[in-house]
């Protein structure tokens, strides 16, 4: 690959830092790198390949001479600055929800629909973290037996809500252990030793009773898979885990798949690792997925309520495959 001039927008955040680490770890051909964030982070030093690099303020002129920009700076920031970058000839890979359902913007998981990268017009969307890990597993099964319906319940790590959310989990955990009343600031309820069926925590429920995170999984799955006929029902839950999203996924297919057939298909699927030996207590765990770029699947079994149904358990690092790694993989394809 020809060395590229790269920018990371939102470099000081959890995902931004992961993007830098993944670029370095995968030896992405970086000719030079520009670290961008809000004005309050200007001058902060971050390490990249052993060097302390200063963070610059993100402005409309930040992308002159930049070839690829990885964005993880929030939806409103992306809406404002991504078009500026594209206008200057830079290709943006955006991690926010700003562009995902825009018909002119590809929504890409490289193992699933890398070919969609070709029709970008300067912006490529990185899907929602919980959607990414699910479609990596479901696409090979869809190709083999055609998905008709997907029911998913997520168990999403607190790191998906950012650094302040991790701090809140830690402080609340200390408070509970010490017998003090935990204070909920970022989350609407106590997250320590609890589960909150509302993601994101700051959004109101829609008129249909679903959260925006749940509707992302519904709509993004169809767009990424290229099949609007797939019916999806999602329930998304925040759990007191630091890193690693877990999902209970139930599928119905047009053609019957046995669990053994599904395991054989997934054993050969890119980016997927099958961990499925319940007799030896082998199945995916968030604690083991953290720090790994692959998506893990196990507990594959027949749905006793449907003749063409399968149930499974899917786990992945939400900061890696769910965000930073997927973005870098898109950049590699570019």
**Residues noted as catalytic:** 129, 245
244 burial via Cβ count (<10 Å: 0-12, 13-18, 19+): buried
Strand partners, 56: 36
Whole-number Å distance between alpha carbons of 78 and 90:
14
Tokens linked to 332: 């590699």
Q: What is the spatial distance between Cα 30 and Cα 244, in angstroms, rounded to a whole number?
A: 28
The two tokens of residue 278 are 């319940």
Q: And the tokens for 261?
A: 């057939």
Count of residues in the chain = 334
| Contact assessment for residue 315 and residue 284, using Cβ atoms and an 8 Å cutoff | yes
Crossing angle of helices 325-333/14-25, nearest 10°? Answer: 50
Q: Do the Cβ atoms of 159 and 240 come closer than 8 Å?
A: no
Instruction: Give the C-alpha separation, 86 to 84, whole Å.
Output: 6
Quickly tell me which residue has 């994101």 as its tokens.
200
- Taking the C-alpha atoms of residue 82 and residue 76, their distance in angstroms, rounded to an integer, is 10
Q: How far apart are CA 84 and CA 61, in angstroms?
A: 7
Residue 303 near residue 250, CB atoms below 8 Å: yes
Non-local (6+) Cβ contacts of 272 within 8 A are: 111, 136, 137, 140, 266, 294, 295, 296, 297
- The pairing of beta strand 245-253 with beta strand 309-316: antiparallel
Instruction: Give the DSSP letter of residue 153.
Output: E
């Amino acid at each position: 690959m020809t060395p590229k001039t790269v920018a990371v927008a939102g470099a000081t955040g959890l995902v931004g830092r992961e993007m830098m680490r993944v670029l370095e770890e995968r030896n992405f051909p970086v000719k030079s790198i520009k670290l961008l964030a809000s004005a309050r982070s200007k001058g902060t030093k971050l390490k990249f390949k052993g060097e302390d690099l200063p963070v610059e303020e993100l402005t409309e002129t930040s992308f002159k001479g930049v070839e690829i920009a990885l964005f993880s700076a929030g939806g409103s920031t992306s809406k404002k600055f991504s078009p500026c970058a594209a206008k200057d000839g830079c290709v943006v890979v955006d991690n926010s929800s700003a562009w995902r359902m825009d018909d002119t913007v590809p929504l890409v998981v490289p193992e699933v629909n890398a070919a969609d990268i070709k029709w970008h017009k300067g912006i490529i969307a990185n899907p929602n973290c919980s959607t990414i890990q699910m479609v990596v597993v479901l696409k090979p099964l869809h190709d083999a037996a055609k998905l008709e319906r997907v029911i998913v319940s997520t168990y999403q790590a607190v790191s998906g809500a950012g650094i302040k959310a991790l701090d809140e989990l830690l402080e609340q955990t200390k408070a509970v252990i010490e017998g003090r009343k935990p204070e909920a600031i970022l989350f609407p309820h106590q997250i320590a030793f609890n589960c909150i069926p509302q993601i994101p925590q700051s959004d109101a429920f829609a008129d249909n009773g679903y959260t925006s995170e749940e509707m992302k999984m519904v709509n993004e799955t169809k767009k990424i898979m290229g099949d609007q006929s797939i019916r999806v029902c999602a329930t998304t839950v925040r759990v007191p885990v630091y890193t690693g999203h877990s999902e209970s996924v139930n599928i119905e297919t047009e053609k019957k798949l046995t669990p053994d057939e599904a395991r054989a298909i997934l054993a050969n699927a890119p980016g997927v690792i099958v961990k499925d030996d319940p007799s030896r207590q082998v199945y995916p765990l968030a604690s083991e997925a953290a720090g790994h770029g692959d998506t893990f699947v196990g507990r594959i079994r027949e749905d006793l309520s449907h003749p063409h149904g399968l149930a499974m358990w899917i786990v992945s690092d939400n900061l890696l495959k769910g965000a930073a790694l997927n973005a870098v993989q898109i950049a590699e394809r570019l």
